[in-house]
């Protein structure tokens, strides 16, 4: 098992390729994007990830990694392509199907085929295995077929790829063992062998657990507003219990994992997944809730100027996919009374379809600043940064500001019962 062919060179496929190449494997990376392939072969990468540019340059220079538009024969095939979601919230597994079909001409008896993409339960058994069988190879005897879900956190990918526990679900026991051995060559964490469907479900449940837990925190925010209690304080104190870990409330749940993966379970067991569906509903309601609060705060202003700080789905990333902040911007724009400006030091103009402001432009004359992402830049802001606001009121939905200045009113999402309408 010396040569690996990785299909899909995105956030997962690229760092995975680099790590295997760095461990001495010959790695061929395949992507459909010609520009990406060209750039990669010169050692340049197209994604932002800590430590990856350096590692990648090294493995290209050493001749351990090559990018290509077409697969080639290899001992191991790793599929790491996206699984987006259809408008009806069912998984779009077309890329996984296409990737599987693309390797068929190069597949030989004894090869391992590993799918890392997040997939609905039973996809390995019901979709991937039949494609291989139709091609004339037995997915239970000729090929070692397994699902090994990626579980890394953006920003820490190179560390987590090595240190995290990996779950390897084989279509057969032998496949689990063979695929697990591939990872054991680079992973320092535990590599656990199981069945394909168990690996599929455990990956989905990890993100669903977080989504449901965050929904509980978000529901607590709404309850706290009614009852008159500080939700952040409640969470802090409840979490002092050694077996309680309530997550943090916020303007909603975004990104391509937590806001998507739970639907892959719902799709397969609609009647049974009531809690999961309710959690999705609560988290999806948060942008509307935030806009309602903005309306309460600005109820007595004729044309409120609102500055939005942070457009990404979470702090210290440039990723705006499924971002609740973008939703909040769009909802505010639907109300003609608002003048809305948006500022995000991590986001470039071409990433969004509306104009971005500088910090100074956003703050100047604003009645209200709304913090929607916990970027480090915001955590360090001082009273002087808000000096040119018309009325100094900030709505911190991420509880991340460290401002202590009497001239500024800060409402936190956990502390909304104290809100008073802003007076000009």
Inter-residue contact 158 to 49 (CB < 8 Å):
yes
Residue from the set 8, 15, 139, 154 that interacts with ligand SAJ by CB under 6 A: 154
207 binds ligand SAJ (CB under 6 A): yes
Residue from the set 8, 120, 139, 255 that interacts with ligand SAJ by CB under 6 A: 255
Choices 132-140, 234-242, 254-262, 353-361 (CB under 6 A): range interacting with ligand SAJ: 254-262
208 binds ligand SAJ (CB under 6 A): no
Active-site entry in 203, 268, 398, 412: 203
26 binds ligand SAJ (CB under 6 A): no
What mask of x and - would describe binding to ligand SAJ in positions 305 to 344, judged by CB under 6 A?
A: --------xx------------------------------
Residues 6 or more apart whose Cβ sits within 8 Å of residue 393: 297, 367, 368, 369, 408, 409, 410, 411, 422
Choices 105-113, 173-181, 242-250, 338-346 (CB under 6 A): range interacting with ligand SAJ: 242-250
d(CA 114, CA 4): 11
In the three-class reduction of DSSP (H, G, I as helix; E, B as strand; rest coil), residue 114 is classed as: strand
d(CA 388, CA 378): 17
d(CA 63, CA 54): 15
Alpha carbon of 302 to those of 333, 387, 388, 408, 423: distances in Å?
Answer: 15, 22, 19, 21, 10
Instruction: State the CB neighbour count (10 A cutoff) for residue 357.
Output: 17
Tokens 């790793």: give the residue.
Answer: 78
Tokens 């494997």: give the residue.
Answer: 25
Active-site entry in 257, 268, 314, 392: 257
CB of 345 to ligand SAJ, least distance (A): 17
258 binds ligand SAJ (CB under 6 A): yes
d(CA 413, CA 405): 19
210 binds ligand SAJ (CB under 6 A): yes
Residue closer to ligand SAJ (CB basis): 67 or 257: 257
CB of 204 to ligand SAJ, least distance (A): 9
CB of 155 to ligand SAJ, least distance (A): 8
13 binds ligand SAJ (CB under 6 A): no
Residue closer to ligand SAJ (CB basis): 8 or 255: 255
d(CA 375, CA 44): 27
Report the candidate in 398, 418, 379, 419 with the shortest Cα–Cα distance to residue 297: 419
Tokens of 91: 């998984």
Inter-residue contact 103 to 77 (CB < 8 Å):
yes
Catalytic status, residue 5: no
Q: Could you list the residues that contact ligand SAJ (CB under 6 A)?
A: 118, 150-154, 206-207, 210, 214, 247-248, 250, 253-255, 257-258, 313-314
Catalytic residue annotation? 203, 257
């Amino acid at each position: 098992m010396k040569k690996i062919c990785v299909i899909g060179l995105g956030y997962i496929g690229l760092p995975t390729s680099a790590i295997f190449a760095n461990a001495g494997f010959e790695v061929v990376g395949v992507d459909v994007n010609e520009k990406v392939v060209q750039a990669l072969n010169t050692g340049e990468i197209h994604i932002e990830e800590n430590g990856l540019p350096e590692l990648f340059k090294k493995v290209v220079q050493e001749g351990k990694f090559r990018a290509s538009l077409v697969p080639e024969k290899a001992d191991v095939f790793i599929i790491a392509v996206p699984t987006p979601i259809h408008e009806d919230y069912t998984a779009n597994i077309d890329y996984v199907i296409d990737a599987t079909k693309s390797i068929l001409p190069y597949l030989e008896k004894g090869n391992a085929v590993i799918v890392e993409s997040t997939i609905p339960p039973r996809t390995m058994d019901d979709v991937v295995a039949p494609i291989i069988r139709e091609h004339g190879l037995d997915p239970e005897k000729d090929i070692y077929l397994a699902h090994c879900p990626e579980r890394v956190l953006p920003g820490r990918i190179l560390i987590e790829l090595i240190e995290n526990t990996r779950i390897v679900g084989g279509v057969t026991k032998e496949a689990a063992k063979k695929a697990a051995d591939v990872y054991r060559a680079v992973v320092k964490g535990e590599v656990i062998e199981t069945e394909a469907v168990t690996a599929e479900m455990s990956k989905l449940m990890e993100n669903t657990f977080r989504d449901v837990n965050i929904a509980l925190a978000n529901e607590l925010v709404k309850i706290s507003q009614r009852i008159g209690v500080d939700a952040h304080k409640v969470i802090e104190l409840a979490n002092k219990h050694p077996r309680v870990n309530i997550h943090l409330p916020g303007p909603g749940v975004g990104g391509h994992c937590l806001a998507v993966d739970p639907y892959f379970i719902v799709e397969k067991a609609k009647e049974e997944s009531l809690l999961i569906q309710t959690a999705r509903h609560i988290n999806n309601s948060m942008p509307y809730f935030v806009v309602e609060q903005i309306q309460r705060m600005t109820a007595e202003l004729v044309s409120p100027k609102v500055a939005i700080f942070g457009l990404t789905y979470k702090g210290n990333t440039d990723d705006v996919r499924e971002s609740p902040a973008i939703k909040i911007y769009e909802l505010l724009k639907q109300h003609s009374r608002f003048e809305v400006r948006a500022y995000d030091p991590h986001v470039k103009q071409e990433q969004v379809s509306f104009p971005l402001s500088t910090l100074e432009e956003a703050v100047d004359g604003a009645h209200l600043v709304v913090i929607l992402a916990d970027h480090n830049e915001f955590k360090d802001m001082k009273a002087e940064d808000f000096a040119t606001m018309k009325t100094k009121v900030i709505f911190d939905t991420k509880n991340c500001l460290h401002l202590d200045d009497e001239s500024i009113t800060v409402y936190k999402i956990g502390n909304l019962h104290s809100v008073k309408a802003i007076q000009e």
